[in-house]
Each structure stands twice: as C-alpha cells, then as structure tokens.
Amino acid sequence: MQNRIPFNGKTTSLYRKNVLHHKNNKWTRHLPLSASFGKSVNTVFGRLGLEYVGGEGLLDYATASVSIRA
C-alpha cells in the first residue's frame, strides 16, 4: 500500500500556509505518492522537501545541479 499524502489547495499552487502548517479540514485531499508525482502536486513536493530532505539537503542538491551545468 502506498503512503497517502494529505494536502489542501489546488494541485498547482504552492502557498506557505499549505506547506508549513497543514491542517486537516473538509477540503483536505489524500493522494498516493505516485498520483502526486503524476499530477505534479506542488504542495506535496514542498512538504516532502521540508520534512524529509531538509534545507541542507535541498541546498546541496541545488548546488550540485548548478556545478554540473557549468
């Protein structure tokens, strides 16, 4: 069974309130991770980055990506 990630808002939106302070309410949707990737759900990607990768990991990845292109 896949993990279902809760999120609020449109799939294409990325608002700080939806990423940093998630609250379950009547508008909360729960999508499997594979569906979140398939639909490019920005809020889910933002939450995964913050909660699982972390700021330092994201910075390392961004820095590595820039040096590869140079």
Reported as a single tens digit per residue, the pLDDT across 15-70 is 888 888 888 999 999 999 899 989 999 989 888 888 889 989 988 888 886 666 65
pLDDT at 8 over 70: yes
Backbone CA torsion sign across 48, 43, 12, 36: positive
Q: Given pLDDT bands bounded at 50, 70 and 90, which one contains residue 1?
A: low
Query: How high is the pLDDT of residue 69?
Result: 63
pLDDT at 13 over 80: yes
Query: How high is the pLDDT of residue 24?
Result: 92
